[in-house]
Structure 1
Amino acid sequence: MNRLLTALAFTALFFSLSAQAAPIQPGLWEFSSRNVEVDGQEMPGMNEMLEQLQNLPPEQRKMMEDMLAAQGVQLGGQGVRICLSEAQVNAEALPFSDQPDCTQEITERSERRWKFSFSCPEASGQGETRFISEREFVSVLETSYSVGGEQGSSRMESHARWIGEDCGTLKPAK
């Protein structure tokens, strides 16, 4: 159970990191993950994590859904969904710009690939996003973290696809 919570927490962080890159369309995006590792152990893929989440006791499931929602993330059909505003996409920046305890840097940028690094009090790492089109991209993120006195590392690959302009009730990711 603890590994599922850790994996879902870093999934939310990862998707918010990789989603802030451009050149992509604003609107609703769905992310699926693969090759997820936490502390060297392979974790279930997105479908398995969503299934495990559905099987949690109602209060634990609500806690996880609320945690994701607070980060602008919603469970979707084949992964998690994030709404990106036009301003976020046009900023072509990584998140954390409003969090003084975090720093980030795009270390390499081309039309079809961004490499980046970040550092926050509880996590740091680096990643790469490859843009397939303005409606699809693939990202890899490697993170070291320290949460509640526990230290570890994670690695994740994700595939993102644009769903559409309308985000419905989901607010843009922060």
Structure 2
Amino acid sequence: MRPTFRFALPLALCLSPLTASALNIQPGVWEISSQDMQVGGQAMPGMQEMLAQMQNLPPEQRQMMESMMAEQGLSLGAGGVQMCLTAEQIKAQEIPLHDDSDCSNEFLERSATLWKFRFNCPDAQGEGETRFISDKEFTTQVKGTYNGQPSSMETRARWVGSDCGALGRN
């Protein structure tokens, strides 16, 4: 596996689902794609490149990565990482923001269309904002540090469908 892939995918998974909750989003499968990701001034591979790299892994490595993602309630979709958000999670605003229990979040502002937040994880800290475009789409911008290096990322989340099927639920 290329070093940039090993580095960029965990960063994307750590930060992408951040603030995936709003009172008026649809329950079901959401696909999150990253774009314009930078760490230490270096551009990281975009989501399409990471997905292509994942497809080209030897079968054992790919299966291991997919199993690790499934344990976190995630899977790979055509355009990004997919996760299931239940109606109960959305209503209670109990959306799993991280797979690391050592992470903390502070919401600085919440409105129907904009959330501003601060986060602190062992490997990543910073601030960001999420703009809710509709009940089926939102974007997030994050700036901070990852492993002590300046980082930034933009993500787009879009609703894929209401049936989570076999996709694990956190």
- Using the size of structure 2 for normalisation, the TM-score is 0.87
Counterpart in the other structure of 1:87: 88
Q: How far is the alpha carbon of 1:60 from its aligned partner?
A: 2.5
Q: Which residue identity lines up with residue 40 of structure 2 in the other structure?
A: D
SS of corresponding position for 2:158: strand
Q: Which residue identity lines up with residue 167 of structure 2 in the other structure?
A: L
SS of corresponding position for 1:171: coil
How far, CA to CA, are the matches of 1:61 and 1:168 in structure 2? Answer: 21
Distance 1:44-1:101 versus aligned 2 partners, 3 A rule: closer
Percent identity for Structure 1 against Structure 2: 50
SS of corresponding position for 1:132: strand
Q: 1:165 aligns with which of 155, 159, 162?
A: 162
1:86-140 CA distance string (max 9 Å, x none) = 1221123564699763321110111100011111223222111000011111111
Question: Contact 2:36/2:46 (CA < 8 Å) preserved in 1?
Answer: yes
Give ranges in structure 1 of 5+ residues lacking alignment. Answer: none
Counterpart in the other structure of 2:135: 134
- Would you say 1:34 and 2:31 are equivalent positions? no
Question: Contact 1:96/1:103 (CA < 8 Å) preserved in 2?
Answer: no
Question: Contact 2:84/2:168 (CA < 8 Å) preserved in 1?
Answer: yes
Question: How many equivalent pairs are there?
Answer: 169
How far, CA to CA, are the matches of 2:101 and 2:10 in structure 1? Answer: 21
How far, CA to CA, are the matches of 1:51 and 1:163 in structure 2? Answer: 20
How far, CA to CA, are the matches of 1:125 and 1:72 in structure 2? Answer: 24
For residues 52-131 of structure 1, the aligned pairs below 5 Å read: 52-92=53-93, 95=96, 101-131=102-132
Question: Contact 1:25/1:162 (CA < 8 Å) preserved in 2?
Answer: yes
SS of corresponding position for 2:16: helix
Q: Which residue identity lines up with residue 156 of structure 1 in the other structure?
A: M
Counterpart in the other structure of 1:13: 14
1:41-72 CA distance string (max 9 Å, x none) = 11221111100111122232223222322222
Give ranges in structure 2 of 5+ residues lacking alignment. Answer: none
Question: Contact 1:141/1:155 (CA < 8 Å) preserved in 2?
Answer: yes
How far, CA to CA, are the matches of 1:61 and 1:154 in structure 2? Answer: 27
